[in-house]
Structure formats: C-alpha cells, structure tokens
Amino acid sequence: MDILIPVLIGIGLSMDCFAVSLAIGTTTKTNLRIAALIIALCFGMFQMGMTLLGWAAGTWLSRLIAGVDHWVAFLLLTFIGVKMIIEGMKGDGVDTGSVHVMQFGSVIILSIATSIDALAVGASFAVLQYAILIPSLIIGIVAFLFSFIGVMLGTRLAPFLGTKIEVLGGLILIAIGLKILVEHLFLF
C-alpha cells in the first residue's frame, strides 16, 4: 500500500479531532502545552487503536457497530457539548481554566467519539487484506499532529471570542455530532 493512502485517510479522520481540539484550545487557560499534548496523545492513540480494533474485528464488528456508531458519536459529543454550554452560560467570571473539558472522563469520551469512524476504516483494511500496522500508526500520527495544532490555535482565538467561548466550543461539539448523525442517516 502506498503511504499516501493512509496519510489521506488520517487527514480525513482527523478533521473531527482538529475541530474538537480547536474547541478545547479555546477554553484552555493554563498548562497549554501539557493540555495540547494530552489531547493529541489521546486522540492519536484512539485513532490508531480504533483502526487496529476495526481491522482485528473485521467486517463482523463493522456491521454490528455500523448501525449505531453514528448515534454513539452523536450522543457522546452532544453530552460533552451541552455540559460545556451550561458551564459557559454560568459565566461567573471565575477563571477555571480547562477543568471541565480536561477531566479524564471527558477526554476519554471525546477520544472515543472522534475515533469511532476509524473502526470502519480498520475493518475496510481487513476486507481488502491490507497490512494494518503502518497505516494505523500513520493515522495515529496524523491525528496527533492535527489535535496538537488544534489546541494551540484554539488558545489564540480565545481572546477574540470573549468569555463565553465554552458556549462556542459546546456548539462546535454538538455540530460535529449532528454532522456525523446526518451523514450516516441520509448519505448511507
């Protein structure tokens, strides 16, 4: 397999990671590089891991999850998005940094939600009988890079967007969830 194919697939899969990372970056006030590294590592590892898992499970798991993967991603992203909107609407003026989004559970939920599509990619590699180790590693690295850059860019946008940036971040997450849901319900 040409290396360009996994890179392009990785870029496609990383768009959700980038958008979520951008939203996280807008709410991150302290330990920016650490937050960017944590998000990038989690998103990259989950993209790689889900690709491997999809490949290992083959078409059976893909068919089983394909019926609900869009709902799972939608519900997870909406849950975190609504939580961010509520926190942003409180607007008590206290600088809490990235406490809400950077909690362990939230990071894992976002990692799963942004990497569910990688299951299908991994399963398609299995059906096509492609080797998976190098492509999954490339996909993980691309997701890492896009996620790290997203967090770093998000912090630069925060001063221009004001104190209610968590609301925007939450709306972005809900929009990504809706996009996934609409694509699966109306395009497939």
pLDDT of residue 186: 81
- 75 domain-assigned: yes
- Number of domains observed in the structure of the chain: 1
- 100 domain-assigned: yes
Q: Is the pTM of this model over 0.75?
A: no
- 23 domain-assigned: no
CA gap 182, 178 in Å, rounded: 6
Nearest to 147 by CA among 33, 43, 2, 30: 43
Residue type for position 146:
F
Give the pair of three-digit tokens for residue 68: 């609900």
Nearest to 125 by CA among 109, 137, 140, 136: 136
- 4 domain-assigned: no
- 168 domain-assigned: yes
DSSP three-state, residue 136: helix
What is the rounded average pLDDT for all residues in the chain? 80
Over residues 125-183, the pLDDT tens digits come to: 886 778 899 999 999 999 999 999 999 988 887 666 554 566 766 777 688 778 878 88
Give the pair of three-digit tokens for residue 176: 């990504």
pLDDT of residue 96: 37
C-alpha distances out from residue 121 to 5, 7, 43, 54, Å: 12, 13, 16, 7
> At residue 38, does pLDDT exceed 90?
yes
139: how many CB neighbours lie within 10 A of its CB?
A: 29
Between 118 and 67, whose confidence is greater?
Answer: 118
pLDDT of residue 61: 56
CA gap 122, 135 in Å, rounded: 9
Nearest to 136 by CA among 43, 38, 55: 55
Can you give the residue range of the structural domain that contains 165?
Answer: 41-186
- 49 domain-assigned: yes
- 5 domain-assigned: no
- 56 domain-assigned: yes
Over residues 80-105, the pLDDT tens digits come to: 778 767 766 775 443 434 435 678 88
